[in-house]
Amino acid sequence: MKLKSFLHAAAFMCWLSLGANAQMANLVAYKPSQQELLASFAKAAALDTVLRNVVSNNDISPVWHSGGNSFWYRKNMPERTWQFVYVDAMTGTSKTAFDHQLLATALTRATGKTQTPGRLNLMEMFFNDNGNAVTLKADGKWYKVNLADYQYQQATDTTYLRHNIRRPLQNKRSRWAGFRTPRKSPDGKQEISIKDGNLIVKNLADQTETALTSDGTTARPYGEATWSPDGKTIVAYLIDPKKTKQVHHILSSVTGTTRGELKSQDYVQPGDEFTSYQPYVFEVASKKQTKVATDVIDFFGAPVINWRDKDNRYYTFEKVDRGHQRFRVVEVDVATGKTRNIIDEKTKTFIYENRIYTRYLPKTNEIVWTSEQNGWQHLYLVNSLTGKQQQITKGNWVVREVDSVDIVKRQIWFRASGVNANEDPYFIHYYRIGFDGKGMIDLTPEKGNHSLTFSPDRRFYIDTYSQVNVPPVIELRKTADGKKIKELERVDAERYLKKGIKLPEVFVAKGRDGVTDIWGVICFPTNMDKDKTYPIIENIYAGPQDSFVPKNFMPNSEMQNIAELGFIVVQIDGMGTANRSKAFHDVCWKNLADAGFPDRILWMKAMAKKYPNADIDRVGLYGTSAGGQNAAGALLFHPEFYKAGVAACGCHDNRVDKQWWNEQWMGFPVGDHYAKQSNVTNAHNLLGNLLLIVGEADTNVPPESTYRMADALIKANKDFEILSIPGMGHSDGGTYGRRKKKDFFVKHLLLVDPPSRNNSNSQTK
C-alpha cells in the first residue's frame, strides 16, 4: 500500500507540474452515451466499406514482355471495375491496352460465356512487340486477338516470358541455416558415409571402404562432412549432440473427442545447451587427420564453408560467439589446421547477427561485409588475404539491406535510410555505389518510403513511394542514371478525405537525451470535438529486431478503428529499437524492460501539449508478442503514467521465450537481470487495469508465459482479466480478442459500459 500511495502521489504531482492540460484549456472529458457509443462502433465497422469505395492504385503488378521493352498492368477504376494499361518503357508512353468492350465481345464469342468489359479476368496475357496484337488465356484456352479489328483465333504457340517483378532482387541466405553437400566427391568416384559414428570414404568403382576416423561413436559421431572442390580434402566435425528440450500445450476443444490433446515441440530457451561441433580436416589420400585450431562451434550448428578460388588449401567460415558480442570470419589452412581471423569484430553490447551481410568474391580475394563498428550500419570491402578493411559507405545513416552485388562493374545495390536530412530517418531509399565508395546514386530521390522493383534485364525499374498520410506515387525510371521516364499512377489524398477517411498525422519529439528525435504517428477520431479531451492509447511493439511505426500510406488501420470509438491512438519507435544509430539500438542491451518507455512518455507529453484534446492523465496501451510483454510491463514499471493495458501472447519472462531472440538482446549467460526485468517477478507491482490474452495453441511464445503471469498476479491478490482462446495460436486474439480489447478500453478509459452483444439486435463488432 505504501508503494501504491507513493505512486499515486507522484502521479498527482506530475499532473500539477504539467499544468493540468485539460482544465487549463477548459475542456471536458469525452464520455459518450450508449447511443453515441453504438454509433461510434458502427462508424468504425464501416471504415473498410468506405475505403473500398475509394478508387486508388496504391501499387501495381507489372508483367514485363520478353524483350524487356514494355509491360502491362491492371488499373483500378470506379465501381470496382478495372482496365488494362500497356506501357512502352523505351518511349515512356502508355495507353489503354485495348478496347475493353470490343475485346469482351470477341471473348464472349470465343468462349461462349458473357464477358464484362470492366471485369475481364485476364491474368495470363502478352502483347507482340508493337502492342497491336495480344495473346491471352480465357476460360482455359489461349487466343490471339488482332487489336486492329478484334478478330481472333486459337493460339497454339504460347511460348512467352512472363516476369512478375515482385520477386526479391536476391535471395538472402542465412549463414547459420546449415548446409547440404553432395555425398559424392566432385569427380563422382568416391562417396562419404558415416558408420558407427566414424567417417568412411567408399570407392564407388570397387566398393572398398576406407575409414578416416576411429574415435567416433554413436553418442559422439563425426558428421556434416563436405568435400573440397578438388576432392582431395574433407572437412568434417566431431559432434557432441545435445537433446533439445520440449515445451507443451493442450488443445482443449478437439472435435470428436472428450479429452484434451497434448501437443509437444522442440523449443530452445535461453541458457539451454547446444550441440557442439569440433572441426577437422582430412587428407583423403594419406588419411591424415588434423584438428582445426579454433574454438568449438557451439552455436547455430555447422557453418557454411567458402573455399579460396583455385586454391583448395584454404577455406573460411563464419563464427558468432554465444552472447552475440563477437563475430569472426576465420580462415583455415587445411595442411596444418592453423587458423587466422580475417574479420574479428567485438563489442561491449551486442552484434545484431541477423543484419550481418557477407558476400565472398573468391576471384578477387575480397569480402563485402556490413558492420556497425563506427556507430552506424555501413558497407566495408575486406581484403581476405591481408584482412585490410576499406569503408565503402559513410555517414550518420544506416544501410538497411544489400540487394545485389555486381562483381563485373564492382558496384553494390543497397537500401538505406537516414541519408536525407530533411525527411523521416526511417524512410527507405535505394542506392548504387562503387566498391571504392564513389559514384553513389540515389535511385529513389523523391521524399517518401520507397519500394523498388526491376524489369527482368534491370534496364528499368518501377519506384513506388508514399508516406503514412500521403498516397503512393508510382514512377517508371531508367536504371543507368535513375532518370524518371514516366509517372504511372498518383492518387490525391483529397479522394480519401472526401469520403470522410481520417488520415494519420506524423509527430516528432525529443527523446530522453533531449537531442534525439523520436518519431511516431497519431490517429484521431474523425469527429473529434475540439472542446473535449480523449484518452490516449499506445499501440506498442518495442522488439529490438526492427522499427515498427508505419511509413507507407495508411488510410485505414486497427489504430484508426479504435480511435473512432473516442480515443487518440499513437504508435512510437523509442530507443532500443533498430534502424537508427548503434547507440540508439544499444539501449535495449540486457534492458528489454526499458522498452523505450522514457522516450515514449516524453513523446506523448509533448504531443499532448501540441494537441490539448489528448488527455495525458488517461493513457492505455496494447501490444502482441513482445508488444504484449511491453503492454503489461508498462503497468508494472510505469504505473504513474499508464492506466490500462491489453497484453496478447506476451513473452512475460524472457527465460520462458525462445533462445535465439532473447539471448540476442538479453545476453548470455542468463543472469539476475532476466528475473529483475520479468513481468512475472514484478507482477505484484500492478496498479492499473490489465487484460491478458493468450491462444492455448501458441507455438511461438509458450502459453505458459501468460499463465505464469496470471499465477503471479493471483498470488499477489491482484485484480485482472484473462482471455484464453481455445485452439488459437500466436495472435492478438483474432476478431473476438480485438473486440474484447476495444470493450476493455471503453470501460477503463472512457469509463462507460461497453454495449452488450448478447442480444439479437446488437450491431457492434
Measure the CA–CA gap between 41 and 756, rounded to whole angstroms.
Answer: 12
251 secondary structure, DSSP code: E
Cβ-based neighbours of 17, under 8 Å, separated by 6 or more: none
Measure the CA–CA gap between 760 and 89, rounded to whole angstroms.
Answer: 57
> Are 189 and 256 within one domain?
yes
Measure the CA–CA gap between 384 and 331, rounded to whole angstroms.
Answer: 9
Counted domains in the chain: 4
> Are 342 and 395 within one domain?
no
The SS3 of residue 276 is strand
Please report, for the domain that includes residue 325, its CATH number: 2.140.10.30
Predicted local confidence at residue 5, as pLDDT: 42
Measure the CA–CA gap between 86 and 94, rounded to whole angstroms.
Answer: 6
Q: Is 365 among the domain residues?
A: yes
Q: At 403, which amino acid appears?
A: D
| Paired residues of 694 in beta bridges | 724
Match 547459420 to its residue by C-alpha cell. Answer: 176
| Paired residues of 84 in beta bridges | 74
Weakly modelled stretches of the chain, pLDDT under 50: 1-24, 161-180
Q: Which of 143, 164, 185 is the last residue of a domain?
A: 164
> Are 194 and 340 within one domain?
yes
In this structure, what is the dihedral angle of CA atoms 100, 103, 105, 111, given to the nearest 10 degrees? -130
> Are 719 and 666 within one domain?
yes
Residues in the chain: 765
Predicted local confidence at residue 244, as pLDDT: 96
Q: Is 290 among the domain residues?
A: yes
Cβ-based neighbours of 184, under 8 Å, separated by 6 or more: 190, 191, 192, 204
Q: Is 47 among the domain residues?
A: no
Please report, for the domain that includes residue 415, its CATH number: 2.120.10.30
Element holding 623 (H helix, E strand): strand 614-624
Measure the CA–CA gap between 546 and 400, rounded to whole angstroms.
Answer: 10
Predicted local confidence at residue 67, as pLDDT: 87
- β pairing state of 190-195 and 70-77: unpaired
Measure the CA–CA gap between 467 and 469, rounded to whole angstroms.
Answer: 5
Please report, for the domain that includes residue 513, its CATH number: 3.40.50.1820
Q: Is 36 among the domain residues?
A: no
> Are 636 and 601 within one domain?
yes
> Are 695 and 546 within one domain?
yes
Measure the CA–CA gap between 583 and 192, rounded to whole angstroms.
Answer: 48
Measure the CA–CA gap between 763 and 48, rounded to whole angstroms.
Answer: 16
Backbone angles phi and psi of 517, in degrees to 5: -75, 130
> Are 159 and 183 within one domain?
no
579 secondary structure, DSSP code: S
Predicted local confidence at residue 159, as pLDDT: 60
Element holding 708 (H helix, E strand): helix 704-715
Match 483465333 to its residue by C-alpha cell. Answer: 153
CA nearest 126: which of 86, 185, 75? 86
Q: Which of 296, 329, 356 is the last residue of a domain?
A: 356
Contact 233, 667 (CB under 8 A): no
Chain-wide mean pLDDT for the chain?
93
Measure the CA–CA gap between 608 and 529, rounded to whole angstroms.
Answer: 15
> Are 513 and 535 within one domain?
yes
> Are 12 and 88 within one domain?
no
Q: At 613, which amino acid appears?
A: N
| CA distances (Å), origin 283, targets 235, 310, 335, 377 | 9, 17, 8, 40
Element holding 343 (H helix, E strand): strand 339-346
| CA distances (Å), origin 507, targets 294, 350, 486, 520, 549 | 51, 30, 32, 5, 11
Q: At 356, which amino acid appears?
A: I
CA nearest 464: which of 439, 456, 454? 454
Contact 472, 59 (CB under 8 A): yes
Please enumerate, as own/partner, the contacts of 674-678 that have beta carbons within 8 Å and a separation of 24 or more: 674/270, 676/593, 677/591, 677/592, 677/593, 678/652, 678/653, 678/654
Q: Which of 325, 356, 387 is the last residue of a domain?
A: 356
Angle (CA) 690 691 697, round 5°: 140
Predicted local confidence at residue 760, as pLDDT: 60
> Are 234 and 382 within one domain?
no
Farthest CA pair distance, the chain = 96
683 secondary structure, DSSP code: G
297 secondary structure, DSSP code: B
502 secondary structure, DSSP code: P
> Are 335 and 233 within one domain?
yes
Measure the CA–CA gap between 463 and 165, rounded to whole angstroms.
Answer: 12
Q: Is 160 among the domain residues?
A: yes
Q: Is 715 among the domain residues?
A: yes
Q: What is the pTM of this model?
A: 0.92
The tally of CA atoms less than 13 A away on the side-chain side of residue 106 is 23
Measure the CA–CA gap between 505 and 126, rounded to whole angstroms.
Answer: 42
Contact 476, 459 (CB under 8 A): no
Q: Is 687 among the domain residues?
A: yes
131 secondary structure, DSSP code: S
284 secondary structure, DSSP code: T
Contact 387, 343 (CB under 8 A): yes
- Residue numbers of the domain that contains 311: 165-356
**How far does Cα 563 stand from its chain's mean position?**
25
Contact 525, 502 (CB under 8 A): yes
Measure the CA–CA gap between 583 and 575, rounded to whole angstroms.
Answer: 9
> Are 131 and 203 within one domain?
no
Measure the CA–CA gap between 592 and 662, rounded to whole angstroms.
Answer: 9
Match 567408399 to its residue by C-alpha cell. Answer: 202
Q: Is 548 among the domain residues?
A: yes
Backbone angles phi and psi of 390, in degrees to 5: -125, 120
Task: Name the grid cell of 499.
Answer: 469520403
Measure the CA–CA gap between 424 and 402, rounded to whole angstroms.
Answer: 21
Measure the CA–CA gap between 703 and 715, rounded to whole angstroms.
Answer: 19
Task: Name the grid cell of 403.
Answer: 540487394
